[in-house]
Amino acid sequence: MSVPIDQLVQEFLINGYVVFEDFIPTRKAEVLHGELLPMLEKVRARDSRVLSGDLDTGRGRVTEPLRYKIETPWRLPFSDPALYENATVLELLERLWGSSDFLMSDYISYHPCPGCSVMNWHRDGELFGANLVLPVFPALSLKIALVDTNEQNGSFELLPSTHHCGVPELSHVPGSGGGQELNRLIESGRYPSRMRLDLKRGSAYICDARVIHRGTPNRSDHVRMELDIGYHLSWYDPRNRPLRMAARDFQELSERGKQLLSRSRRVETPH
Ligand X SMILES: O=C(O)CCC(=O)C(=O)O
CB of 243 to ligand X, least distance (A): 19
Nearer to ligand X, 202 or 215 (CB): 215
CB of 91 to ligand X, least distance (A): 25
Interface of this chain with ligand X, residues 175 to 214, rule: CB under 6 A: 213-214
Handedness of CA 23, 125, 12, 103 (dihedral sign): negative
Residue in the shown chain whose Cβ atom is closest to ligand X: 215
Nearer to ligand X, 112 or 202 (CB): 112
Q: What is the spatial distance between Cα 226 and Cα 1, in angstroms, rounded to a whole number? A: 19
* Residues touching ligand X, count (CB under 6 A): 7
- Is residue 30 close enough to count as binding ligand X by CB under 6 A? no
Query: What character string, x for contact with ligand X (CB under 6 A) and - otherwise, covers 103-122?
Result: ---------x------x---
Handedness of CA 236, 238, 241, 245 (dihedral sign): negative
* Stated length of the chain: 271
Nearer to ligand X, 206 or 245 (CB): 206
Q: How far apart are the first and last CA of the chain?
A: 35
Residues near 53 by beta carbon (within 8 Å), at least 6 away in sequence: 42, 43, 46, 59, 60
Three-class SS state of 22? coil
Nearer to ligand X, 79 or 141 (CB): 141
Binding site for ligand X (CB under 6 A): 112, 119, 124, 156, 213-215
